[in-house]
Amino acid sequence: MSGRSVLSLSIFLFCAPLLPASGETRSQSPPNVLIILVDDLGYGDLSSYGATDLRTPHTDRLIAEGLRFDQFYANCPVCSPTRAALLTGRYQNVVGVPGVIRTIENNNWGYLSPDAVMLPQLLSQAGYDTAMVGKWHLGLSVPNIPNRRGFDFFHGFLGDMMDDYWHHRRHGNNYMRLNEKVIQPEGHATDLFSQWACDYLETRKGKSKPFFLYLAYNAPHTPIQPPKEFLEKVVARESGINESRAKLVALIEHMDDGIGRVMATLKEIELDRSTLVIFTSDNGGQLNVGANNGPLRDGKQSMYEGGLKVAAGCQWLGQIQSGTRSNLSAMSMDIFATVCDVAGITVDHPIDGVSFLPTLLGKEQPPLRKQWFFTRREGGVRYGGKTIEAVRIGDWKLLQNSPFSAQELYNLKEDPQETNNLASKRVDKFRELAAAMRMYIQRGGAVPWQRPSKAAIESDR
């Protein structure tokens, strides 16, 4: 068990051990950390990941100047659960977020656990200034808002999707905030988030205290509303492109332009060489609005690879060798462990994430875990409040993409497009993975995910 003690077989199966430092040699001063999380980006929707009809030079440069992951996975094929996993280092359903947190009570499928320890809390204790810009999507009211869950500064949107990128409302509610103050900014949300991130970075110029900035874009999530000038440029350049694809390409290129401005600001304030930048998406692309998930099957909402496998790259100038790639498998919750590792924080509570810092620094690293779980709880007629899930062990993956359909078994090494269901042919593997999944579902089922009563919420104010 890699020399780490465990309390029981179940903990060995499901919980990552307490996080040690990686043992790598690095500068005494901890780096700044910038996490850029984009929303619903298809695996094939960057130029560097194979897209031929769009141009993303700034994101491509970010990844090219560091390490690109070829086997990076979101914890879930939808928004809230992946965000919960990233910021807690835990599987999402053990921190109360198995599904999407929404405004409408009877279609809400998560409540961030009061006991969950958040990444900004630990970084703040370690001397970091902590900030978030953009989409939160882990709670709409006290106590589950950024400033009450560890962030010193918040400038962004509490909700899930915006009904309009210019008017910033969801079901008529204004979820835009500057810390806890309701605000009504003007402009496209992507431009606002990019500018607010730049504004925050400007405040760090000349400061000795390291910063942690979590920049979470709404783009390219629906509605697909790029600025007119970006759409016109795409249509003029890409002969024959259909309207749906053109709008999505323009929205992605607009977001890339914003990322470029953020990275330029980081360089202008002379903190680019002392900042670890991590880029990834919360899940795969949404096919019915024109997303491209490359050769992968299906997309957002799905337990097939197209819903889970995402683009990811890390840049740390002078520390991570530029132009490198890795086949190490990692997932959203491993970012938590990695950031703690690079900041010199020893995590003294159980987490599921494992640091991939050795890989970033060019060292050999064993697989981060033996069993990989992906789960989601959702409502409506399609899901009925039940769960869908997948488990991967080695090359084998068992999934149930609908609570009303049979489980499917694939060998991803031989069948990466998941076209040959081996459930009836490899009964031994089917039983092995199905047993692991049942145990994991039991673990997640022990954690409440509904909102507490109104009285309980009022008592926390």
**3-state DSSP call for residue 35?**
strand
76 annotated active-site: no
Taking the C-alpha atoms of residue 72 and residue 284, their distance in angstroms, rounded to an integer, is 11
Both structure tokens of 311: 């683009």
Taking the C-alpha atoms of residue 411 and residue 419, their distance in angstroms, rounded to an integer, is 10
Q: Which of 460, 456, 453 is nearest to 105 (CA)?
A: 453
Taking the C-alpha atoms of residue 276 and residue 335, their distance in angstroms, rounded to an integer, is 11
Taking the C-alpha atoms of residue 101 and residue 138, their distance in angstroms, rounded to an integer, is 6
Is 201 exposed, middle or buried, given 0-12, 13-18 or 19+ CB atoms closer than 10 A?
A: buried
Distance of CA 436 to the CA centre of its chain: 24
Long-range contacts of 380-388 (CB under 8 A, 24+ apart): 380/107, 385/109, 387/98, 387/441, 388/303
Both structure tokens of 38: 């984009």
Is 403 exposed, middle or buried, given 0-12, 13-18 or 19+ CB atoms closer than 10 A?
A: middle
Both structure tokens of 170: 């969801």
- R_g (Cα) of the chain, nearest Å: 21
Q: How many CB atoms lie under 10 A from the CB of residue 270? A: 10
Taking the C-alpha atoms of residue 113 and residue 131, their distance in angstroms, rounded to an integer, is 21
Catalytic residue among 15, 58, 137, 340: 137
12 sits in which H/E element = helix 9-14
Both structure tokens of 227: 């600025």
Catalytic residue among 76, 79, 198, 314: 79
Taking the C-alpha atoms of residue 225 and residue 306, their distance in angstroms, rounded to an integer, is 23
Rounded to the nearest 10°, the torsion over CA 223, 299, 136, 62 is -100
137 annotated active-site: yes
Catalytic residues: 79, 137
